[in-house]
Amino acid sequence: QQQVKQSPQSLIVQKGGISIINCAYENTAFDYFPWYQQFPGKGPALLIAIRPDVSEKKEGRFTISFNKSAKQFSLHIMDSQPGDSATYFCAARRRTGGSNYKLTFGKGTLLTVNP
């Protein structure tokens, strides 16, 4: 059972455009929602994250929008650049006991930004 659904699977955007990637979840036990960015030949790396008590978090050109009631969150990349071309994973964290947590990842979105 996939607990975090991510869409689209791939996305092509022109330079300067806005890239939007969406994720949805069902488990209300999730308490933290990070996004990871993966360049070809590299491991994923944390890009930006949000807690469910806020509706938006912005870091430079990257913004997470969070809708707790709809159990959805999305990544917006403003003024998309060719250097943003990468695979993006949303994730959700839940406590498994004590101070231990586990991340569940979406299936990823391959973003291509054309010059």
Partner 1 sequence: DADVTQTPRNRITKTGKRIMLECSQTKGHDRMYWYRQDPGLGLQLIYYSFDVKDINKGEISDGYSVSRQAQAKFSLSLESAIPNQTALYFCATSERGGTDTQYFGPGTRLTVL
Are the C-beta atoms of 17 and 23 separated by less than 8 Å? no
Neighbours of 114 (CB within 10 A): 11
70 burial type by CB count under 10 A (0-12 exposed, 13-18 middle, 19+ buried): exposed
CB of 36 to partner 1, least distance (A): 8
Nearer to partner 1 among residue 98 and residue 115 (C-beta): 98
Q: Which of residues 1-40 bind partner 1 (CB under 8 A)?
A: 6, 9, 32, 34
**Would you count residue 86 as binding partner 1 (CB under 8 A)?**
no
Instruction: Please report whether residue 93 would count as binding partner 1 according to CB under 8 A.
Output: yes
| Cis status, amide bond into 44, omega within 30 of 0 | no
Could you list the residues that contact partner 1 (CB under 8 A)?
6, 9, 32, 34, 41-46, 49, 89, 93, 99-103, 105-108
